[in-house]
Amino acid sequence: MRSPRPYSPLAGPGARSLTERRKAATQLDIARAACALFAEHGPDGTTAEDIAHRAGVALRTFYRYFRNKQEAVAPLLAGGGDAWRALLAEEDPGTPLGEALERAVTRSLGDSRTVEEGLEVTRGLLRAAQADEALRAVWYRVNQDSEERLVPVIARLAGEDADPLGVRLLAAAATDAIRISLELWSTTDAPVAGPGSPAELAVRCLRDLTGAMPLLHRPGGAAAAPGT
């Protein structure tokens, strides 16, 4: 069965050993099983045993990787952050930061079939999280991890003389722009593309959150505000 991924089609950066790849593949199989069962029965109607059975692994294997059933979705959610950071990292240093951020956000939340399917999975998970505190905690933790990993990517694009505080603030704002857009979109029946879509909402959030940041208005044109 082909299982969709959250809003990103890309994997995280960096070469991994065969053992690491097998471990990651097992984690993703478990995560996809968890997502499917949560969509079918909700977190309350799903057990760790159910997830392990659907994934085709022993229960002890499940607990080798995850502390509880909600934790099992983390690899899928984290994949979205990995993908959009990878897209941002493709930008050349000196590229206006506002343009680079918007481009990466738009591409990562774009309209390919894989992304569309993954967005619907994310919408289902976020709806389930509204009534499940542990699932919300996983979502917030994944976003915090993504923000921390975004800092060096932005620092590289901003240049060695960039204010560290400005870099941290921009990483936080960019991460929150995506998080808020997905959370808001998940409460609606808006499409995955066009008006009201995650990409459109994320760009709006990004512009509102970063428009006055000095890092986007540095002298010499090294960076520009989103949409300028």
Residue 222 has pLDDT above 80, yes or no: no
pLDDT of residue 219: 54
Contact between residue 28 and residue 57 where contact means Cβ atoms under 8 Å apart: no
CA 159, 164, 169, 174 torsion: positive or negative? Answer: positive
Q: Which residues contact 185 (CB under 8 A, 6 or more apart)?
A: 123, 196, 197, 198, 201
Percent of the chain residues topping a pLDDT of 70: 87
Distance CA 224, CA 219 (A): 10
State the CB neighbour count (10 A cutoff) for residue 98.
Answer: 23
Angle at 76 (CA atoms; ends 50, 156), nearest 5 degrees: 160
Confidence of residue 13 (pLDDT cuts 50, 70, 90): very low
What pLDDT digit, counting tens, does each position of 174-197 carry? 999 999 999 999 999 999 999 999
Q: What pTM, to 2 d.p., does this model score?
A: 0.84
219-228 mean pLDDT: 41
CA-based nearest residue to 224, from 160, 158, 131, 144:
158
Residue 168 has pLDDT above 50, yes or no: yes
What pLDDT digit, counting tens, does each position of 81-136 carry? 999 999 999 999 889 999 999 999 999 998 677 687 789 889 999 999 999 999 99
